[in-house]
Amino acid sequence: MLYNPPRAQLRISRGFLVREPLRHIRAQGERIKMEKVRAGILGTGNIGTDLLMKILRSDVISCGIFAGQNPDSKGIARARELGVPVTCDSIRYIEKYPDCCEIVFDATSAKVHAEHAPILKRLGKYAIDLTPAHVGPFCVPQVNLDQAMDLPNVNCVTCGGQATVPIARALTQVADVKYLEVVATISSKSAGAGTRNNIDEFTQTTKDALIELGGCRDAKAIIILNPAEPPITMRNTVYALIDDPDMDLIRRAIHRVETELKRYVPGYRVVLGPILENGRVTTTIEVTGSGDFLPAYAGNLDIITCAAVEIAESYARRRLL
């Protein structure tokens, strides 16, 4: 499928008919219309398709190409039904038609993104990596969104990282955290091939982000795939060893994180704590999915696509100013 350039406004200027981009055109009594920034999606599985559904309702991003490798992919079929440009040539399509997108979401795998990253850099794309590859710096929007805007490649950590790094950061800002441990529990049904093939990368990348962005001196991340029926909703429990914690200060810090995260992850909520027991502060977070494409229990996938779209929309708004 060939790339079609965006439509433009036609107007008369000094006797000539000229094309004016739909960036800032004010009609009588109407609000300003804005040209959207085009994004490409690499990976047509659950995460890629959920991303697509979120992008389709964005005010500032459109989908320029939905790229995979499997022509029988359910995601490809869904995108075709929605009239979205699709290809089975994966990143090769973007190499051939680089103007199809400015932003690229990579929802493939850690190994594959390591191969894609130098290509996207050469093409000058703003890459948002939803795998645990950690090629580019970490970005958790609630923590460091502004710093990510000028980087060529940003990494969304992991689902557990998006849920717990803000909690870790809040704790280390108001207390001396000696050690922090995260236990992420998700439904087996919400763990696709990409998740299962990247378990080692998940634990290491989440740990690295807890230290780098969360400010922890020492940390550990554990993931549990629960086969229970009906499927459980994603839960993350954060255990922090703190001497003489000021619990009122900690509660206020955790509440602020919850409020700020809900702005772009509506299903994020603290369901336990923070509570103190024998020098250990415990906080449990539950994430319910938005139901754009995935079931509500798949909050682990929803939180990382919500974060990726938040990053992309912030980048797009800056480009459209």
Q: What is the pLDDT of residues 145-179, one digit of tens each?
A: 999 999 999 999 999 999 999 999 999 999 999 99
> Do the first three CATH levels of 8-157+304-320 and 159-298 match, i.e. the same topology?
no
Tens-place pLDDT, residues 174-183: 999 999 999 9
pLDDT of res. 13? 41
For residues 140 and 266, what is the distance between their CA atoms, to the nearest angstrom?
16
Q: Which two tokens stand for residue 88?
A: 């089975």
Residues linked to residue 187 through DSSP beta bridges, in sequence order: 226
The residues assigned a catalytic role are: 159
Please provide residue 261's backbone torsions phi and psi, each rounded to the nearest 5 degrees: -70, -35
Q: Mention every residue, 6+ apart, whose C-beta is less than 8 A from residue 295.
A: 189, 190, 231, 289
**Domain map (residue ranges) of the chain:** 8-157+304-320, 159-298
The CB density around residue 273, as the number of other CB atoms within 10 Å, is 19
In sequence order, what are the beta bridge partners of 270? 285
Among 268, 236, 227, 270, CA closest to 142: 268
pLDDT higher than 50, residue 18:
no
pTM: predicted TM-score of the whole model, two decimal places:
0.86
Domain 159-298 has CATH 3.40.50.970: no
CB 285 within 8 A of CB 271: yes
Distance (Å, whole) CA 110 – CA 195: 10
CATH number, domain 8-157+304-320: 3.40.50.720
Contact by Cβ (8 Å): 120, 104: yes
